[in-house]
Structure 1
Amino acid sequence: MNNRLEQQIERIKRADTLEQYDTQVQKLNLLLKESDYPLEVCQEIQRKQKYVKNIFSDEANREKMLEAKEKLLQYLEKLQQSESGKEDVEKIVLYLKNFYLFLEALTESIPDRRSKLQRLKLQEIKIQNEYDLQHLLYAVLKPFVPEIRKEVSEDSGVGTVRTDFKIEELDLAIEAKCTRESIGQKKLTEEIEADIIHYQEKNILFYVYDKEKMIKDKQNYEKQFNRQYGDKNVRMIVQQPVIL
Protein backbone atom coordinates (compact mmCIF):
# COMPACT_ATOMS: atom_id res chain seq x y z
CA MET A 1 0.00 0.00 0.00
CA ASN A 2 1.54 3.32 -1.06
CA ASN A 3 2.14 6.28 1.24
CA ARG A 4 -0.70 8.38 -0.22
CA LEU A 5 -3.25 5.68 0.60
CA GLU A 6 -1.85 5.20 4.10
CA GLN A 7 -2.09 8.96 4.68
CA GLN A 8 -5.68 8.97 3.41
CA ILE A 9 -6.61 6.17 5.81
CA GLU A 10 -5.22 8.28 8.66
CA ARG A 11 -7.44 11.18 7.56
CA ILE A 12 -10.49 8.89 7.64
CA LYS A 13 -9.57 7.83 11.16
CA ARG A 14 -9.60 11.50 12.23
CA ALA A 15 -12.91 12.26 10.50
CA ASP A 16 -15.52 13.04 13.19
CA THR A 17 -18.41 14.56 11.28
CA LEU A 18 -20.49 13.35 8.36
CA GLU A 19 -19.05 16.02 6.10
CA GLN A 20 -15.46 15.12 6.99
CA TYR A 21 -16.09 11.39 6.56
CA ASP A 22 -17.91 11.76 3.22
CA THR A 23 -15.15 14.00 1.87
CA GLN A 24 -12.34 11.65 2.91
CA VAL A 25 -13.96 8.44 1.57
CA GLN A 26 -14.48 10.18 -1.79
CA LYS A 27 -10.77 10.99 -1.86
CA LEU A 28 -10.01 7.39 -0.88
CA ASN A 29 -12.06 6.07 -3.80
CA LEU A 30 -10.19 8.32 -6.23
CA LEU A 31 -6.83 7.14 -4.90
CA LEU A 32 -7.85 3.50 -5.20
CA LYS A 33 -8.83 4.07 -8.81
CA GLU A 34 -5.52 5.79 -9.55
CA SER A 35 -3.61 2.96 -7.86
CA ASP A 36 -5.20 0.27 -10.08
CA TYR A 37 -6.54 -1.80 -7.21
CA PRO A 38 -8.56 -4.88 -8.26
CA LEU A 39 -12.22 -4.12 -8.99
CA GLU A 40 -13.46 -6.53 -6.31
CA VAL A 41 -11.34 -4.77 -3.65
CA CYS A 42 -12.67 -1.35 -4.65
CA GLN A 43 -16.25 -2.61 -4.64
CA GLU A 44 -15.85 -4.13 -1.18
CA ILE A 45 -14.39 -0.88 0.17
CA GLN A 46 -17.35 1.04 -1.27
CA ARG A 47 -19.78 -1.38 0.40
CA LYS A 48 -18.05 -1.00 3.76
CA GLN A 49 -18.02 2.81 3.66
CA LYS A 50 -21.75 3.27 2.96
CA TYR A 51 -24.37 4.19 5.53
CA VAL A 52 -28.06 5.10 5.21
CA LYS A 53 -28.87 8.70 6.10
CA ASN A 54 -31.86 9.61 8.23
CA ILE A 55 -33.28 12.99 7.19
CA PHE A 56 -34.92 13.40 10.61
CA SER A 57 -31.99 12.74 12.95
CA ASP A 58 -28.44 14.10 12.80
CA GLU A 59 -27.55 12.01 15.84
CA ALA A 60 -28.70 8.80 14.16
CA ASN A 61 -26.74 9.76 11.03
CA ARG A 62 -23.56 10.20 13.03
CA GLU A 63 -24.01 6.83 14.72
CA LYS A 64 -24.52 5.13 11.34
CA MET A 65 -21.48 6.95 9.96
CA LEU A 66 -19.29 5.82 12.86
CA GLU A 67 -20.43 2.22 12.39
CA ALA A 68 -19.57 2.38 8.68
CA LYS A 69 -16.24 4.03 9.49
CA GLU A 70 -15.31 1.22 11.90
CA LYS A 71 -16.18 -1.49 9.35
CA LEU A 72 -14.24 0.35 6.65
CA LEU A 73 -11.13 0.79 8.79
CA GLN A 74 -11.21 -2.87 9.87
CA TYR A 75 -11.27 -3.96 6.23
CA LEU A 76 -8.49 -1.52 5.27
CA GLU A 77 -6.35 -2.77 8.15
CA LYS A 78 -6.71 -6.36 6.92
CA LEU A 79 -5.84 -5.18 3.41
CA GLN A 80 -2.71 -3.46 4.74
CA GLN A 81 -1.66 -6.60 6.61
CA SER A 82 -2.22 -8.73 3.52
CA GLU A 83 -0.15 -6.43 1.34
CA SER A 84 2.60 -6.25 3.94
CA GLY A 85 2.74 -10.05 4.00
CA LYS A 86 3.01 -10.19 0.20
CA GLU A 87 5.90 -7.71 0.32
CA ASP A 88 7.73 -9.97 2.81
CA VAL A 89 7.08 -13.00 0.59
CA GLU A 90 8.56 -11.12 -2.37
CA LYS A 91 11.68 -10.38 -0.31
CA ILE A 92 12.13 -14.12 0.24
CA VAL A 93 11.57 -14.77 -3.48
CA LEU A 94 14.25 -12.22 -4.37
CA TYR A 95 16.59 -13.68 -1.74
CA LEU A 96 16.21 -17.22 -3.09
CA LYS A 97 16.71 -16.08 -6.67
CA ASN A 98 20.29 -15.39 -5.55
CA PHE A 99 20.69 -18.78 -3.82
CA TYR A 100 22.98 -20.00 -6.58
CA LEU A 101 25.36 -17.10 -5.88
CA PHE A 102 25.77 -18.50 -2.36
CA LEU A 103 26.66 -21.92 -3.76
CA GLU A 104 29.18 -20.41 -6.16
CA ALA A 105 30.80 -18.31 -3.45
CA LEU A 106 30.94 -21.31 -1.08
CA THR A 107 32.29 -23.93 -3.47
CA GLU A 108 34.26 -21.99 -6.08
CA SER A 109 35.95 -19.17 -4.16
CA ILE A 110 39.48 -19.95 -3.02
CA PRO A 111 39.79 -19.81 0.79
CA ASP A 112 42.61 -17.84 2.34
CA ARG A 113 45.75 -19.98 2.68
CA ARG A 114 45.49 -19.65 6.46
CA SER A 115 41.95 -21.05 6.46
CA LYS A 116 41.28 -24.57 7.71
CA LEU A 117 38.68 -24.96 4.97
CA GLN A 118 40.02 -26.88 2.00
CA ARG A 119 38.88 -25.89 -1.48
CA LEU A 120 38.71 -29.50 -2.69
CA LYS A 121 36.42 -30.39 0.21
CA LEU A 122 34.15 -27.43 -0.52
CA GLN A 123 33.95 -28.41 -4.18
CA GLU A 124 32.52 -31.76 -3.10
CA ILE A 125 29.34 -29.95 -2.00
CA LYS A 126 26.91 -30.64 -4.82
CA ILE A 127 23.14 -30.89 -5.12
CA GLN A 128 22.38 -34.46 -6.15
CA ASN A 129 18.79 -34.80 -4.96
CA GLU A 130 15.93 -33.03 -3.16
CA TYR A 131 17.34 -33.86 0.27
CA ASP A 132 20.59 -32.05 -0.57
CA LEU A 133 18.59 -29.10 -1.86
CA GLN A 134 16.37 -28.96 1.23
CA HIS A 135 19.39 -29.05 3.56
CA LEU A 136 21.15 -26.17 1.80
CA LEU A 137 17.99 -24.08 1.40
CA TYR A 138 17.24 -24.41 5.11
CA ALA A 139 20.78 -23.35 6.01
CA VAL A 140 20.46 -20.29 3.77
CA LEU A 141 16.95 -19.31 4.91
CA LYS A 142 17.36 -19.84 8.67
CA PRO A 143 19.43 -16.65 9.32
CA PHE A 144 17.09 -14.63 7.06
CA VAL A 145 13.86 -16.02 8.55
CA PRO A 146 14.66 -17.49 12.02
CA GLU A 147 11.06 -18.65 12.56
CA ILE A 148 11.14 -20.99 9.53
CA ARG A 149 10.17 -24.63 10.24
CA LYS A 150 11.12 -27.63 8.13
CA GLU A 151 9.26 -30.83 7.28
CA VAL A 152 5.93 -29.73 8.75
CA SER A 153 3.15 -32.35 8.58
CA GLU A 154 -0.49 -31.28 8.85
CA ASP A 155 -3.90 -32.86 8.37
CA SER A 156 -5.58 -31.42 5.26
CA GLY A 157 -8.89 -33.15 5.97
CA VAL A 158 -8.31 -35.78 3.29
CA GLY A 159 -4.88 -36.91 4.46
CA THR A 160 -1.54 -35.70 5.80
CA VAL A 161 0.31 -33.03 3.83
CA ARG A 162 4.03 -32.55 4.45
CA THR A 163 5.54 -29.15 3.72
CA ASP A 164 9.29 -28.84 3.16
CA PHE A 165 9.38 -25.43 4.86
CA LYS A 166 6.73 -23.31 6.52
CA ILE A 167 6.73 -19.71 7.74
CA GLU A 168 3.53 -19.34 9.74
CA GLU A 169 3.82 -15.57 10.20
CA LEU A 170 3.56 -15.15 6.41
CA ASP A 171 1.19 -18.09 5.84
CA LEU A 172 3.89 -19.32 3.45
CA ALA A 173 4.77 -22.84 2.34
CA ILE A 174 8.04 -23.45 0.48
CA GLU A 175 8.47 -26.59 -1.60
CA ALA A 176 11.90 -27.66 -2.89
CA LYS A 177 12.11 -29.82 -6.00
CA CYS A 178 15.14 -31.27 -7.74
CA THR A 179 14.71 -32.78 -11.19
CA ARG A 180 16.03 -36.26 -11.95
CA GLU A 181 16.32 -38.49 -15.00
CA SER A 182 13.31 -40.60 -14.04
CA ILE A 183 10.89 -37.66 -14.04
CA GLY A 184 9.89 -35.56 -17.03
CA GLN A 185 8.58 -32.01 -17.23
CA LYS A 186 4.98 -33.25 -17.49
CA LYS A 187 5.30 -35.25 -14.26
CA LEU A 188 6.99 -32.33 -12.49
CA THR A 189 4.14 -30.03 -13.54
CA GLU A 190 1.55 -32.51 -12.27
CA GLU A 191 3.32 -32.68 -8.88
CA ILE A 192 3.38 -28.89 -8.58
CA GLU A 193 -0.30 -28.56 -9.53
CA ALA A 194 -1.22 -31.21 -6.94
CA ASP A 195 0.80 -29.37 -4.27
CA ILE A 196 -1.05 -26.13 -5.03
CA ILE A 197 -4.36 -27.89 -4.40
CA HIS A 198 -3.27 -29.67 -1.21
CA TYR A 199 -1.41 -26.86 0.55
CA GLN A 200 -3.68 -24.75 2.76
CA GLU A 201 -1.35 -21.73 2.93
CA LYS A 202 -2.27 -18.54 1.07
CA ASN A 203 1.31 -18.14 -0.18
CA ILE A 204 3.17 -21.01 -1.87
CA LEU A 205 6.72 -20.78 -3.19
CA PHE A 206 8.28 -23.49 -5.35
CA TYR A 207 12.07 -23.63 -5.71
CA VAL A 208 12.93 -25.99 -8.56
CA TYR A 209 16.58 -26.93 -9.02
CA ASP A 210 16.53 -28.23 -12.58
CA LYS A 211 19.68 -30.34 -12.30
CA GLU A 212 18.84 -32.26 -15.48
CA LYS A 213 17.89 -29.10 -17.43
CA MET A 214 14.64 -30.72 -18.53
CA ILE A 215 12.76 -27.41 -18.54
CA LYS A 216 13.50 -26.00 -21.98
CA ASP A 217 11.88 -22.57 -21.52
CA LYS A 218 12.68 -21.49 -17.97
CA GLN A 219 11.10 -18.02 -18.20
CA ASN A 220 7.78 -19.24 -19.56
CA TYR A 221 7.66 -22.11 -17.07
CA GLU A 222 8.04 -19.64 -14.20
CA LYS A 223 5.46 -17.34 -15.76
CA GLN A 224 3.00 -20.23 -16.04
CA PHE A 225 2.90 -20.56 -12.24
CA ASN A 226 3.61 -17.01 -11.06
CA ARG A 227 -0.02 -16.01 -10.54
CA GLN A 228 -3.08 -16.29 -8.31
CA TYR A 229 -4.81 -19.65 -7.97
CA GLY A 230 -8.09 -18.61 -6.38
CA ASP A 231 -7.07 -17.10 -3.05
CA LYS A 232 -3.56 -18.62 -3.21
CA ASN A 233 -0.56 -16.55 -4.29
CA VAL A 234 1.91 -18.86 -6.06
CA ARG A 235 5.53 -17.99 -6.84
CA MET A 236 7.95 -20.10 -8.86
CA ILE A 237 11.77 -20.03 -9.09
CA VAL A 238 13.59 -22.30 -11.52
CA GLN A 239 17.38 -22.55 -11.18
CA GLN A 240 19.49 -24.46 -13.68
CA PRO A 241 23.23 -25.25 -13.33
CA VAL A 242 25.45 -22.79 -15.14
CA ILE A 243 28.33 -24.33 -17.06
CA LEU A 244 30.76 -21.95 -18.78
Structure 2
Amino acid sequence: MKYNMSLKKHSVCEVLDFFNIQIYELASTNSTIDISNILKGIAFKVSEYINSEELILEIKNSSEYISNTFSELKTDESINEAKNRVLSCLNIITSYLSEDKIKFIDYKSDMDEYTSILIIKKILNNFYEHIKAMYFDTVHGKANITKAQLDNIRIGNEYDVQRILFSLIKPVFTDAKIEVVDNTGCSTVRYDIDIGSCNTTIEVKCSRKSMTERSLNEEMGSDSFHYNRNNIIFFVYDKESIVSDIQSYHKTYNKVFDNKSIDIIIIQPIIL
Protein backbone atom coordinates (compact mmCIF):
# COMPACT_ATOMS: atom_id res chain seq x y z
CA MET A 1 0.00 0.00 0.00
CA LYS A 2 1.41 3.39 -0.95
CA TYR A 3 -0.30 6.74 -0.91
CA ASN A 4 0.23 10.21 -2.27
CA MET A 5 -0.56 12.21 0.82
CA SER A 6 0.27 15.32 2.80
CA LEU A 7 -0.32 16.38 6.37
CA LYS A 8 -3.02 18.91 7.27
CA LYS A 9 -1.12 21.46 9.36
CA HIS A 10 0.02 18.85 11.87
CA SER A 11 3.53 17.63 12.63
CA VAL A 12 4.50 14.04 11.86
CA CYS A 13 4.59 13.26 15.60
CA GLU A 14 1.05 14.58 16.07
CA VAL A 15 -0.24 12.49 13.16
CA LEU A 16 1.51 9.37 14.47
CA ASP A 17 0.02 9.95 17.92
CA PHE A 18 -3.43 10.29 16.35
CA PHE A 19 -3.08 7.03 14.38
CA ASN A 20 -1.71 5.14 17.37
CA ILE A 21 -4.67 6.25 19.51
CA GLN A 22 -7.15 5.17 16.82
CA ILE A 23 -5.43 1.80 16.47
CA TYR A 24 -5.40 1.23 20.25
CA GLU A 25 -9.05 2.18 20.71
CA LEU A 26 -10.24 0.02 17.83
CA ALA A 27 -8.03 -2.96 18.68
CA SER A 28 -8.98 -2.97 22.38
CA THR A 29 -12.74 -2.75 21.73
CA ASN A 30 -14.69 -6.02 21.65
CA SER A 31 -18.23 -4.69 21.70
CA THR A 32 -19.59 -4.77 18.15
CA ILE A 33 -21.78 -1.76 18.96
CA ASP A 34 -18.70 0.28 19.99
CA ILE A 35 -16.72 -1.02 17.02
CA SER A 36 -19.56 0.02 14.71
CA ASN A 37 -19.58 3.54 16.16
CA ILE A 38 -15.80 3.85 15.72
CA LEU A 39 -15.98 2.61 12.12
CA LYS A 40 -18.67 5.14 11.23
CA GLY A 41 -16.42 8.08 12.13
CA ILE A 42 -12.92 6.83 11.38
CA ALA A 43 -12.68 8.07 7.76
CA PHE A 44 -13.76 11.58 8.77
CA LYS A 45 -11.27 11.67 11.67
CA VAL A 46 -8.42 10.65 9.36
CA SER A 47 -9.46 13.31 6.84
CA GLU A 48 -8.83 15.98 9.51
CA TYR A 49 -5.16 14.97 9.65
CA ILE A 50 -4.39 13.68 6.15
CA ASN A 51 -4.81 15.05 2.63
CA SER A 52 -5.44 12.04 0.38
CA GLU A 53 -8.69 11.26 -1.39
CA GLU A 54 -7.38 7.78 -2.23
CA LEU A 55 -6.53 6.99 1.39
CA ILE A 56 -9.79 8.36 2.83
CA LEU A 57 -11.81 6.39 0.28
CA GLU A 58 -9.96 3.17 1.12
CA ILE A 59 -10.57 3.60 4.85
CA LYS A 60 -14.21 4.41 4.18
CA ASN A 61 -14.66 1.30 2.02
CA SER A 62 -12.78 -0.85 4.54
CA SER A 63 -15.03 0.31 7.38
CA GLU A 64 -18.25 -0.76 5.67
CA TYR A 65 -20.00 -3.93 6.83
CA ILE A 66 -23.20 -5.83 6.07
CA SER A 67 -26.04 -5.76 8.57
CA ASN A 68 -27.91 -9.09 8.38
CA THR A 69 -31.43 -8.61 9.72
CA PHE A 70 -31.86 -12.40 9.96
CA SER A 71 -28.63 -13.21 11.78
CA GLU A 72 -27.00 -11.15 14.53
CA LEU A 73 -24.00 -13.48 14.38
CA LYS A 74 -23.42 -12.72 10.69
CA THR A 75 -23.66 -9.00 11.40
CA ASP A 76 -21.10 -9.30 14.21
CA GLU A 77 -18.79 -11.27 11.91
CA SER A 78 -19.06 -8.58 9.22
CA ILE A 79 -18.34 -5.81 11.77
CA ASN A 80 -15.24 -7.63 13.05
CA GLU A 81 -14.01 -8.20 9.48
CA ALA A 82 -14.37 -4.44 8.83
CA LYS A 83 -12.52 -3.76 12.09
CA ASN A 84 -9.59 -5.93 10.96
CA ARG A 85 -9.49 -4.30 7.52
CA VAL A 86 -9.38 -0.80 9.00
CA LEU A 87 -6.74 -1.82 11.58
CA SER A 88 -4.59 -3.25 8.80
CA CYS A 89 -4.92 -0.05 6.81
CA LEU A 90 -4.11 2.19 9.81
CA ASN A 91 -1.11 0.06 10.80
CA ILE A 92 0.38 0.16 7.30
CA ILE A 93 -0.04 3.95 7.08
CA THR A 94 1.59 4.37 10.50
CA SER A 95 4.48 2.17 9.40
CA TYR A 96 5.00 4.25 6.28
CA LEU A 97 4.99 7.47 8.30
CA SER A 98 7.40 6.07 10.89
CA GLU A 99 9.85 4.71 8.33
CA ASP A 100 9.54 7.70 5.97
CA LYS A 101 8.62 5.45 3.05
CA ILE A 102 6.20 8.01 1.66
CA LYS A 103 6.61 11.60 0.66
CA PHE A 104 4.51 14.01 2.63
CA ILE A 105 4.47 17.71 3.51
CA ASP A 106 4.91 18.76 7.12
CA TYR A 107 3.60 22.33 7.16
CA LYS A 108 4.99 23.06 10.62
CA SER A 109 8.56 22.02 9.95
CA ASP A 110 11.15 23.72 7.77
CA MET A 111 12.56 21.82 4.82
CA ASP A 112 16.12 20.63 5.13
CA GLU A 113 18.77 22.82 3.52
CA TYR A 114 19.42 20.46 0.60
CA THR A 115 15.74 20.28 -0.38
CA SER A 116 15.36 24.04 0.01
CA ILE A 117 18.25 24.74 -2.35
CA LEU A 118 16.81 22.37 -4.96
CA ILE A 119 13.46 24.19 -4.83
CA ILE A 120 15.08 27.62 -5.04
CA LYS A 121 17.12 26.58 -8.07
CA LYS A 122 14.00 25.14 -9.67
CA ILE A 123 12.25 28.48 -9.29
CA LEU A 124 15.21 30.43 -10.66
CA ASN A 125 15.88 28.14 -13.61
CA ASN A 126 12.21 28.35 -14.64
CA PHE A 127 11.93 32.10 -14.14
CA TYR A 128 10.99 32.62 -17.77
CA GLU A 129 8.07 30.18 -17.45
CA HIS A 130 6.52 32.63 -15.00
CA ILE A 131 7.24 35.59 -17.30
CA LYS A 132 5.65 33.78 -20.23
CA ALA A 133 2.57 32.62 -18.31
CA MET A 134 2.02 35.96 -16.57
CA TYR A 135 2.78 38.47 -19.31
CA PHE A 136 2.88 36.77 -22.72
CA ASP A 137 0.16 34.11 -22.71
CA THR A 138 -3.36 34.88 -23.90
CA VAL A 139 -5.53 36.66 -21.32
CA HIS A 140 -8.98 35.25 -20.60
CA GLY A 141 -11.72 37.34 -22.14
CA LYS A 142 -13.47 37.81 -18.79
CA ALA A 143 -10.34 38.91 -16.92
CA ASN A 144 -10.10 42.45 -15.54
CA ILE A 145 -6.36 42.50 -16.23
CA THR A 146 -6.01 43.10 -19.96
CA LYS A 147 -3.23 42.11 -22.33
CA ALA A 148 -2.69 45.81 -23.10
CA GLN A 149 -1.98 46.46 -19.42
CA LEU A 150 0.46 43.55 -19.23
CA ASP A 151 2.23 44.72 -22.38
CA ASN A 152 3.09 47.96 -20.59
CA ILE A 153 5.17 46.12 -18.01
CA ARG A 154 8.85 45.87 -18.88
CA ILE A 155 11.90 44.80 -16.89
CA GLY A 156 14.25 47.76 -16.80
CA ASN A 157 16.78 46.94 -14.08
CA GLU A 158 17.72 44.50 -11.33
CA TYR A 159 15.15 45.95 -8.93
CA ASP A 160 12.38 44.88 -11.30
CA VAL A 161 13.85 41.37 -11.50
CA GLN A 162 14.30 41.29 -7.74
CA ARG A 163 10.64 42.18 -7.16
CA ILE A 164 9.36 39.43 -9.46
CA LEU A 165 11.72 36.83 -7.99
CA PHE A 166 10.80 37.74 -4.45
CA SER A 167 7.09 37.34 -5.22
CA LEU A 168 7.80 33.80 -6.44
CA ILE A 169 10.02 32.80 -3.51
CA LYS A 170 8.08 34.36 -0.61
CA PRO A 171 5.07 31.97 -0.72
CA VAL A 172 7.40 28.95 -0.45
CA PHE A 173 9.94 30.42 1.97
CA THR A 174 7.90 32.72 4.18
CA ASP A 175 10.99 33.87 6.12
CA ALA A 176 12.53 35.31 2.94
CA LYS A 177 13.45 38.98 3.21
CA ILE A 178 14.49 41.60 0.70
CA GLU A 179 17.32 44.16 0.95
CA VAL A 180 18.84 42.68 4.12
CA VAL A 181 21.85 44.52 5.55
CA ASP A 182 24.48 42.46 7.34
CA ASN A 183 27.71 43.40 9.13
CA THR A 184 30.30 40.78 8.27
CA GLY A 185 32.90 42.17 10.68
CA CYS A 186 35.09 43.86 8.11
CA SER A 187 32.35 45.43 6.00
CA THR A 188 28.63 45.94 5.60
CA VAL A 189 26.87 44.03 2.83
CA ARG A 190 23.34 43.99 1.48
CA TYR A 191 21.63 40.77 0.43
CA ASP A 192 19.10 41.20 -2.37
CA ILE A 193 16.98 38.24 -1.24
CA ASP A 194 17.89 36.49 1.99
CA ILE A 195 16.42 33.19 3.24
CA GLY A 196 17.53 32.50 6.78
CA SER A 197 15.91 29.06 7.13
CA CYS A 198 18.36 27.60 4.61
CA ASN A 199 21.25 30.06 5.11
CA THR A 200 20.94 31.28 1.53
CA THR A 201 21.21 34.61 -0.25
CA ILE A 202 20.24 35.34 -3.83
CA GLU A 203 22.16 38.12 -5.52
CA VAL A 204 20.23 39.54 -8.47
CA LYS A 205 22.03 41.00 -11.47
CA CYS A 206 20.47 42.58 -14.53
CA SER A 207 22.72 43.51 -17.42
CA ARG A 208 22.52 47.01 -18.86
CA LYS A 209 23.99 48.64 -21.94
CA SER A 210 26.76 50.28 -19.92
CA MET A 211 27.77 46.99 -18.26
CA THR A 212 30.58 44.84 -19.61
CA GLU A 213 31.25 41.18 -19.01
CA ARG A 214 34.32 42.16 -17.02
CA SER A 215 32.40 44.47 -14.69
CA LEU A 216 29.85 41.71 -14.09
CA ASN A 217 32.68 39.35 -13.15
CA GLU A 218 34.13 41.90 -10.73
CA GLU A 219 30.78 42.48 -9.03
CA MET A 220 30.15 38.76 -8.51
CA GLY A 221 33.68 38.12 -7.30
CA SER A 222 33.44 40.87 -4.71
CA ASP A 223 30.00 39.78 -3.52
CA SER A 224 30.91 36.11 -3.13
CA PHE A 225 33.96 37.05 -1.04
CA HIS A 226 32.09 39.25 1.43
CA TYR A 227 28.75 37.46 1.76
CA ASN A 228 28.36 35.66 5.07
CA ARG A 229 26.05 32.83 3.97
CA ASN A 230 26.53 29.10 3.37
CA ASN A 231 24.78 29.25 0.00
CA ILE A 232 25.18 32.09 -2.48
CA ILE A 233 23.17 32.03 -5.69
CA PHE A 234 23.76 34.60 -8.42
CA PHE A 235 20.75 35.12 -10.65
CA VAL A 236 21.79 37.00 -13.78
CA TYR A 237 19.01 38.34 -15.96
CA ASP A 238 21.14 39.07 -19.00
CA LYS A 239 18.73 41.25 -20.96
CA GLU A 240 21.58 42.80 -22.97
CA SER A 241 23.25 39.42 -23.70
CA ILE A 242 26.67 40.52 -22.44
CA VAL A 243 27.63 37.00 -21.28
CA SER A 244 29.40 35.39 -24.20
CA ASP A 245 29.77 31.85 -22.81
CA ILE A 246 27.22 30.74 -20.20
CA GLN A 247 28.81 27.31 -19.75
CA SER A 248 32.13 28.92 -18.95
CA TYR A 249 30.44 30.98 -16.23
CA HIS A 250 28.96 27.82 -14.75
CA LYS A 251 32.38 26.17 -14.60
CA THR A 252 33.95 29.26 -13.06
CA TYR A 253 31.35 30.18 -10.43
CA ASN A 254 29.60 26.90 -9.55
CA LYS A 255 31.96 25.77 -6.83
CA VAL A 256 32.59 25.52 -3.10
CA PHE A 257 35.21 27.61 -1.35
CA ASP A 258 35.70 28.92 2.18
CA ASN A 259 32.77 26.72 3.27
CA LYS A 260 30.47 28.56 0.85
CA SER A 261 28.53 26.93 -1.96
CA ILE A 262 28.29 29.27 -4.96
CA ASP A 263 26.00 28.83 -7.95
CA ILE A 264 25.14 31.00 -10.91
CA ILE A 265 21.99 30.93 -13.01
CA ILE A 266 21.90 32.98 -16.20
CA ILE A 267 18.74 33.73 -18.17
CA GLN A 268 19.21 35.24 -21.64
CA PRO A 269 17.74 36.80 -23.59
CA ILE A 270 14.27 37.64 -22.35
CA ILE A 271 12.31 40.52 -23.82
CA LEU A 272 10.08 42.19 -21.26
Which band: TM-score by shorter chain? 0.5 to 0.7
Aligned pairs, number: 161
User: Following TM superposition, by how much is the alpha carbon of 1:219 offset from its aligned partner in structure 2, in angstroms?
Assistant: 2.0
Gaps (5+ residues) in structure 1? 1-82
- Kept in 1, the 8 Å contact 2:179–2:193? The answer is yes
Shift of 1:223: 2.5
- The alpha carbon displacement at 1:86 in A equals 2.6
User: Which of the pair is proportionally richer in helix?
Assistant: 1
Q: SS of the residue aligned with 2:171?
A: helix
Structure-1-length-normalised TM-score:
0.63
* Deviation, structure 1 residue 89: 0.8
* Structure whose alpha-carbon radius of gyration is higher: 2
Question: Hey, what does 2:126 align to over in structure 1?
Answer: 98
Q: 1:189 pairs with 203, 206, 217, which one? A: 217
SS at match of 2:170: helix
Structure 2: how far apart are the matches of 1:211 and 1:140? 20
CA distance in 2, matches of 1:151, 1:239: 22
Q: Are 1:117 and 2:148 counterparts?
A: no
Distance apart, 1:95 and its partner CA:
1.8
Matches of 2:227 and 2:257, distance apart in 1: 12
Q: Which amino acid aligns with 1:123?
A: D
Match of 1:32 in 2: none
Match of 2:179 in 1: 151
Partner in structure 2 of residue 212 of structure 1: 240
**One-letter code aligned to 2:123:** Y
Structure 1 runs of 4+ with >3 Å offset: none
Quote the offset at 1:218 in angstroms.
1.3
Residue 159 of structure 2 is aligned to residue 131 of structure 1: yes
RMSD of aligned alpha carbons:
1.5
Cα drift, residue 90 of structure 1: 2.1
Question: Per-residue CA shift, 1:45-76, capped at 9, x if unaligned?
Answer: xxxxxxxxxxxxxxxxxxxxxxxxxxxxxxxx
Q: CA deviation at 1:179?
A: 0.6
In 2, Cα distance between equivalents of 1:115 and 1:179: 33
Aligned to 1:107: 135
The answer (yes or no) to whether the contact 2:199–2:230 under 8 Å persists in 1 is yes
Instruction: Compute the displacement of 1:203 (Å).
Output: 0.5
Q: Check the 8 A contact 2:239/2:270 in 1, yes or no.
A: no
User: Partner of 1:165 in structure 2?
Assistant: 193
| In structure 1, C-alpha distance between the alignment counterparts of 2:151 and 2:252, rounded to whole Å | 34
Deviation of residue 96 (structure 1)? 1.1
Give the AA of the match of 2:168. V
Q: Aligned with 1:144: secondary structure?
A: coil
- How big is the shift at 1:87? 3.2
TM-score, normalised on structure 2?
Answer: 0.57
